[in-house]
Amino acid sequence: MQHDLILRIAAKLLIPMIMLYALYVQFHGDYGPGGGFQAGVIFAVSIFLYALVFGLPAAMRVFSPTLVQALAAAGVLLYAGVGVVSMISGGNFLDYGALNPGDRALGEHIGVLLIELGVGITVAAVMIMLFYLFASPIDADDSGGH
């Protein structure tokens, strides 16, 4: 696709906007439609576009498979970590109010924000990983249908 000038320019314009929109969906999820899962998918879509237009190796230089695996685990760790911290603070698992005993409403706000961030990171990483697996060329020795 090295001659598709219009597609390349459009992709370069769109990719940052999609990433910004993913962050908007992520952090505006409390007040409007959105949340961690949707934001993760939208963020992953910007990487898909990059891989489609500039090739999978270019995308893998930005988000290497090792980094993607680490991020997928880190999101779950953040999610479970918030739950454990609230348990240590005296509440139940994922009882965000216990995070800030002085002002429970603020604690719940912080807790939901962190949980959604963990969900977003994990969903984005897993989606990117799935795309890498689907988009990578099939090995010659992998005896498929043909």
Determine if 121 is a binding residue for another protein (CB under 8 A): no
Determine if 1 is a binding residue for another protein (CB under 8 A): yes
Determine if 33 is a binding residue for another protein (CB under 8 A): yes
Residue of 59, 72, 99, 127 interacting with another protein (CB under 8 A): 59
Q: Which is nearer to another protein, 14 or 87 (CB)?
A: 14
Residue of 42, 72, 115, 125 interacting with another protein (CB under 8 A): 42
The residues near 71 (Cβ < 8 Å, ≥ 6 apart) are 121, 122, 124, 125
Q: Which stretch binds another protein (CB under 8 A): 31-39, 79-87, 102-110, 112-120?
A: 31-39
Q: How far is the CB of 144 from another protein (least distance, A)?
A: 13
Q: Which is nearer to another protein, 25 or 117 (CB)?
A: 25
User: Dihedral (C-alpha) 9, 13, 19, 24: value to the nearest 10 degrees?
Assistant: -160
* Footprint of another protein (CB under 8 A): 1-2, 7, 10-11, 14, 17-18, 21, 25, 28, 32-34, 38, 42, 45, 48-49, 51-59, 131-132, 134-137
